Chains A and B, each alone.
Chain A
Amino acid sequence: DGGITQSPKYLFRKEGQNVTLSCEQNLNHDAMYWYRQDPGQGLRLIYYSQIVNDFQKGDIAEGYSVSREKKESFPLTVTSAQKNPTAFYLCASSIGDSPLHFGNGTRLTVT
Chain B
Amino acid sequence: DQQVKQNSPSLSVQEGRISILNCDYTNSMFDYFLWYKKYPAEGPTFLISISSIKDKNEDGRFTVFLNKSAKHLSLHIVPSQPGDSAVYFCAAYSGGGADGLTFGKGTHLIIQP
Query: In whole angstroms, how far apart are the Cα atoms of A10 and B33 in the complex?
Result: 31
Q: Which chain B residues border A104 with CB–CB below 8 Å?
A: 41-43
B59 CB to closest chain A CB (Å) equals 13
- Chain A facing B: main interface SS: strand
Size of B's binding interface in residues, CB under 8 A: 26
When the two chains form the complex, which single residue of B4, B41, B42, B101 contacts A100, counting CB atoms closer than 8 Å? B101
Which one of A14-22, A41-49, A62-70, A71-79 contacts B? Answer: A41-49
Contact of B99 among A6, A44, A48 (CB under 8 A): A48
- Bits for B17-34, please: 1 = Cβ < 8 Å to A, else 0: 000000000000000101
Main secondary structure of the interface of B (DSSP, over half): loop
Given contact pairs A99-B46, A103-B43, A105-B42, A42 touches B100 in the complex (Cβ within 8 A): no
CB<8 Å pairs between A and B, sample of 28: A4-B43, A6-B43, A35-B100, A35-B103, A40-B9, A40-B105, A42-B106, A43-B89, A43-B91, A43-B101, A45-B99, A48-B100, A50-B98, A56-B99, A58-B100, A90-B44, A92-B43, A94-B97, A97-B32, A97-B97, A99-B46, A100-B100, A101-B46, A103-B43, A104-B43, A105-B41, A105-B42, A105-B43
Q: Which residues of A contact B (CB under 8 A)?
A: 4, 6, 9, 31, 33, 35, 40-45, 48, 50, 56, 58, 90, 92, 94, 97, 99-105, 107
Given A45-B101, A97-B32, A102-B43, 7 more A-B residue pairs with CB atoms under 8 Å apart are A6-B43, A42-B6, A43-B91, A45-B99, A97-B96, A97-B97, A104-B42
